[in-house]
Amino acid sequence: MNPRTRATLDELARADWFARVGQKDTGAAIVLDSWKEAIESCSSDVWQDLLLEAANQYRMRLVERSKERFSQWNAVVREVRALTNPLVEQKFDLVQREHDLPKVVEDSIKWDILHAAMEAEFADVYPPGFSVSNAYWYVHGHFPCGWEGKFPEGKLIIF
């Protein structure tokens, strides 16, 4: 695993995820007021489609720049997921129990963290983008959970 990926995961591990949910402490994103709103937003087809499209676009850029490196994608996913899933479970456990959050929230977080790590892992081929920018919000205590407007115009929605 690339040291850059390890550093990304270490920074995420040190952060206090969800410590600032609901706090309107940024103008860079729309901040929701409740877990109910965050659940609705992260469950929306618009958000799920955007996450998938961002990941697909990133993989397409990898293929264009290095078919050899892209051929390693699935093996790297398995290696990275072995670290990201336990990290998410550890960070999410208490907040999940406190708020009785559904699996869709955990799945969304697992997707975000896995793909942030994958962007870090392949940054030598193509620069990190959407998923690493989502990871920024976890480090700063928020939960990225939606998008308002037509991408890339519009604004990220966080809780």
- Mean pLDDT computed over every residue of the chain: 97
- Structural domain contains residue 22: no
**pLDDT per residue as tens digits for the range 79-111:** 999 999 999 999 999 999 999 999 999 999 999
Mean pLDDT value of segment 128-142: 97
Mean pLDDT value of segment 122-150: 97
**pLDDT per residue as tens digits for the range 72-86:** 999 999 999 999 999
Residue % of the chain over a pLDDT of 70: 100
Domain limits for position 48: 3-15+30-158
Report pLDDT for 85: 98
Position 21 confidence tier, pLDDT thresholds 50, 70, 90: very high
Position 35 confidence tier, pLDDT thresholds 50, 70, 90: very high
- Structural domain contains residue 23: no
- Structural domain contains residue 25: no
- Structural domain contains residue 130: yes
Report pLDDT for 144: 98
Q: CA 153, 41, 139, 111 torsion: positive or negative?
A: negative
- Structural domain contains residue 20: no
Give the count of domains, the chain: 1
Distance separating alpha carbons of residues 111 and 52, to the nearest angstrom: 9
Smallest CA-to-CA distance from 58 within 40, 45, 77 is with 77
Peptide bond into 152 cis (omega under 30): yes
Angle at which helices 103-121 and 35-43 cross, to 10°: 60
Report pLDDT for 105: 98
Position 45 confidence tier, pLDDT thresholds 50, 70, 90: very high
